[in-house]
Each structure stands twice: as structure tokens, then as C-alpha cells.
Structure 1
């Protein structure tokens, strides 16, 4: 946090999470409660659950269990020395209230919509189980809490995760009953792990392949909803922690490869069309080069920045801008003379281990935005937003969507469209490709 010019929250200031009873009984309300406990428990060592206990919703992975016990267990697994418990709100607590009413300041999500601000909430009631707006509202609320140091929510903010605009939208599209297909995640750090966490809250109907060579470190715990103190103490490989989580919540088909992407047989030996969507959340070993020279399916990912922003990006096969247009390859890396020759794409560089940083709510925002795009891939009119969407959280929240420009001289200029078309043929979202006829 200090690398962002910020300091941790006052550990003596207790945050108490409360909720409107009707909202808490709904799927959206319980997604909000689970995400709030998970995120705030990584942001502060002093969090109390102030809502009455209830059984976890049938649509969630831990259906039927105690919501309070599950949430407390998660917070204590992150920080065994934290002050976490369940009690009514006390005088002096900062109240983090979930729902459309019940307090003067609200954190409310319904369907794809999110709101923070004074009550009552202006959001329309969406009855379909989505959860994305609920999770987004918690991220916005946590960012406000941290930015203002427990300041009042006097300025409202409304947004939606459907087309990433600052207005609520009535859309009943839900991932319930829709298979996501084969989702490969290259890089299982904060963004990759968080994206898979949010996918699992929405549906377990997907095949997951996880690729990352790295191990869980102490600095990873606060910014991933999956990693725990126990993982860091034994240097557990990140993809193994992720695979265990996904299997435990009910994702039946999970593969984990604890290597860098360019060394992974899951990537290098895959059949044409076998991967439906790639969450490209890695940033080492010239990974963008290896991805683009491997003729990828649609790519979705988000990055975090030092100005407290999260940027979502989408690269569709055949589009004018590939990921190398945005992240040019290392100067030490020699370009191939033929885009269909994979020999030099197996080269790599050795990078020094480094300790990076990210504010917890930024990582949650990045993973959530990525997961939201994956969940919308089957929507009839997808894509619904520009290729790049930036969410700024340093001041009053800001959403901006812009197209991605092509970079002149990029290696994708010589990539063979016919080969790329063949490589993704048969994949679930091949219809989204925009190759010229």
C-alpha cells in the first residue's frame, strides 16, 4: 500500500458490515456479503459481521452452510491475528451497509448495476441471479472507505457492468444455465485468481486450465480472494491453490500447470479450437509475444495502475489491435520472420524476481471486470463496450471506454489470418472474430 503513496487503515478502527434482511436473503445480497467480508478482511485487521446469520443461497458454491461462519473462516485464514467476529454494530464503528435501504449510506448492487451513496438506492430491482453489480458495489465502497479514511458517502455513484457506463440498465441476462466452455488463465496472480473466484460465484459450468510458475508470497495475500496465510507459509504454487479452490466449489474439470506459459503443454500442445477464452493475466517472460504468436482465441484481462485505476482490455481474433500493440515485446526479443514459425516463439528471457504491489480493491476490480466480460460472452449482442474500459478510483469513481489503436510495426501485421482462423475454429466464441473476408 505504501508503494501507492498510501498507508494501511487504522487497525483500531472497526469496520462492521451490516445488511438489509431482504437483500441478504437474495443471491445478489449474499454475493455482496461474501465479497465484502473477503475484501474488507484483507484491507483491515478489524472487521465485524453485524448482520444476522443465514444459510448460504442455493445458487452459491457453499449452499446451506452458515454465511457468518463461512465468512469468518475466510477472514481468519487470511490474517490469523486479526480482530474478526460477529456482533451487533457498536458506537464508533464504521458501518459498511449492504442493500437498497436501512441506513443513510448504502453499498448496493442489483443485477449488473452498482450504487454507493445516500439512501434510498436508485437501482431498479433485477430478480435474475447475476451478482456482478453486487460485487462491483462492494469494490466501489471499499475504495471509498480507503480513499477517504472512513469518510461519509456524500457523493453518489451509479454504474453498470453490462456496457460499463454511469447509468443503471435493466438487463435480465444471467449466466445461470450457460456453459462458459474452456477458460484458460495464463497468470494466476491477483487478477487471474480473482477472475476465477468471481466466475465460480456465478457458475461452476466451465472447464478451467490454470498456468503460472509462481508461488504464493506474503504480498499476494491481501489482493487475491483465494490465497491465504497458510498458502504463503508453505510457498504453495499459485495454480495448485487455485485448482484446489475451484474443485472444492464444484468446478469438475480443472487442470493446473505450474510453469510459465511458453513452457506449458496445456498451451503449446492444445488442439485447434480447444480453448474458448483466454484470461491473459501474466506479465513475465514476454508472455504477450508467446500468446500472440500462438494464434489465441478471444483474450480478456485487466491491469492495475499506480494512479488507482483498473483497465479492462479485450482482444478479438482478427481485430486491429492485439495485446502486443498495447504491450510491445522486450527489445532483447528477436521478432520472427514468419508468423507461422513457432521455433523462436519458444525462446524466453530470465527475469529477476521482483516484489510488486497493488491495492486490494484494485485487484478485486480487475478480476471482477475480467470475469464480467467472460460471463457476457454468450450474450446476443456481445461485445457491449469498447475494447478498453478504465475504472478510476483515486477520486470520485470514473468510468471511461475507448477503442484500442493498432501499433504500426507490430508483429500482428504479418500474422496469417487463415492460420489464425483455423486455430480458433470450433471454439465457442469463434463467431466473435473479425477477420476480413
Structure 2
């Protein structure tokens, strides 16, 4: 089936003005030319269905070009007039309208003309007088009302869509492929999250292991700075296996310009169900987070230090690494600054020595299990929320993939020679 190329004469009602006589001709690519004669109006308007990437398969928007010709809108914009550009109230129109929805032009506040409607005089673009704008808008409303009533409107839209159908089909196919890949990734993440829930439930059900009571004997630990240079030694006494912070041990430290307590436990951020890293707090900790006033905070080089150090692995800790442990000096409950370099250097040596001392305990697995069991309820809640989010994301991506594949098929059908195939696919 082909679109008729015959020219018809029609009358277009112009409210408050009268009637416009128009000769209407269907052009290539779904365009329709209106040659209009009305009070203070004469010239050619061309209605062009606007097929937008990611828009409807059959375009539902249109622009109205001022003047004749099949060249793209921008071709003439800065260079020269189009043939038979409309003259309204003695002003010659140049350019084209906004992107319009012909089914929704009843709102008087819609900007029909937009930013690409001007007059072109002496090579300069000029704004239209108000009377010219108002009459032009009235004429365009009448033209689009007639265009909407054309019996071959869907064929015109399809003809316009065929110009970019292959390009847009490729675009839709790429988006569908990306969505399908995302679905596969989300399925993998859901499987991992479900496995994590099982592991955490298993941790909660495990019988706690016996922990070694605080040792009565003192331990002497050598200190080494980040370059491996000796810095003396400290004497360490175990004060308590903490009742407040599960799996942590409190140490009393003295010697080598260090005095005070440190609390050593497992990685408090615990990405793994059973934490494998080390956490060291300056002072006797009663909780892991947001504790500004710990008792027995240590002094290092005569400076009272606060805060703590967390490391999510333990295999890479040596007497000299990592070099920085983030010792801070508080100036108020909410403010502070980094410790002096010499203090940070010595604090780092102490923290590394205590971390290695903690990791050498024979009940380390029991301490880690205690920390894991204390944190399991939080991790379970977090993981279940993530499972729910992943399921919602997967459902959305599956819908996206189906939508893009359907649009890809519809756009491919547009390029086919048989209209029946397109109509059947579009209705699917």
C-alpha cells in the first residue's frame, strides 16, 4: 500500500479570523505540504513527523517547517531562505516550530513556535512581532488539526519512521543486550547473597568456642618503625577479654615512651561473615563505633592519642607494615587533628606489635567466631534487604530487556517491504 501523492484543496477554520484555503500534498518520508492562503497569511508549511530515538515506534510528535523543501531543518537555518516561506502580517517566517504533540495543543500556554522560529533579514535572525506570532500559532493549530484527521496518518508516520528505523533498531538491540547482561549479573549476585544468608545463619547456630582467660604473665614486644629500624620495646599485660566488644582483648601497655591501654579485636567493618582483619582502638573500648571518651587512653611521646585503626586483612601485617595507623589528638569531643609525625611513627610501631600479638593467640578462631556471631544479626538484616533490592532490580531489568527486544523487532519490521508484517508485529 502506498500513500497518495495527490493534492487536495481544503478549508481550515481559523477561530476569530475566518477560514484559510490550503492545498495539501503528501510528500516523501511522510511529510505533508500545506500551501496556505488566509487573511494576512500566505506561503508553505510542511508537517514533518518527528521520529525520536527512544520515542514511540510510530512517531507521535511533529514539527512544522516554514517553506518548502525536503532538506533537514538545519540546512537552511543560518544560510538562506527556503522556497515560499510563509508571510504573516508582512513578516516572512524562517525556521521551524517546537517539537509538538498534535494531540495535545489545546493548552494555550504551549510554546508552539519555540526557539527556531524567526524572520531572516539581511542575514540576521530577528524575533517575530507579537501579532505575527499569534496568527502563525492559530494557523499551525489549524494545520495540525487537519493533519491529525488524515486517513493515512499511520502510514505517514511509518514512512517517516523508516528513515532511522535500522539505526534505532540497532540502538534498541544494544540496550536489550545490556539489560540482559545486567539480568545475568543480578542473578549471580542474588545467588551469592542467598549463600551469604545461609552462611550467616550457620554462624548464628554454631556453638561458641571457649576463650582463653587473660594471661597473668607479662609479654615483652619489640617495636620497629616503618623502615624496619628498632625503637625499643613495650611490656604488655592482658587486662580482659572484652565483655562489651565481642572477640576483643584489652591490653595494658608500658615502656618505650608509651603508657595506657589498647583494645584489639577483629575488623569492625566485617565484609566477610567471619572477620579476617584487625581492629585496634586507643583506650579501653566498650563499643566499636562513635566512642569519643574511652577510658585509659594511651600517651605516646607524652601525647594522648585517640581514635583507632582498622585493617580488613591480617596476612599483610608485619612489624613494619602498614606504615600509617591514623593516630589522632582530640581538641574537643568533636574535633581533633593528626598526631605529630614522631608520635604517629611510634604509635604505628605499637599498633603493629599488638596486632601481631593478638593474631598469635591460640584462641584466635574463637575470638573471630565471637565477633562474627555478635555481628551476624546486623549482617543478616543487611543481606536480606540487599536480596530484596536485587530481586526488584532484576525484575526491572527483565522488563527493560523485553521492551527493548520488542521495540527492536518493531523497528526491523518497519524496514521490511510488507506493511502487513509491521502491523502484525506492532500489535504484538
Fold shared per TM-score above 0.5? no
Q: Which is richer in helix? A: 2
Kindly name which structure, 1 or 2, has the bigger radius of gyration based on alpha carbons. 2
Q: Which has the higher contact order (CA 8 A, sep 6+)?
A: 1
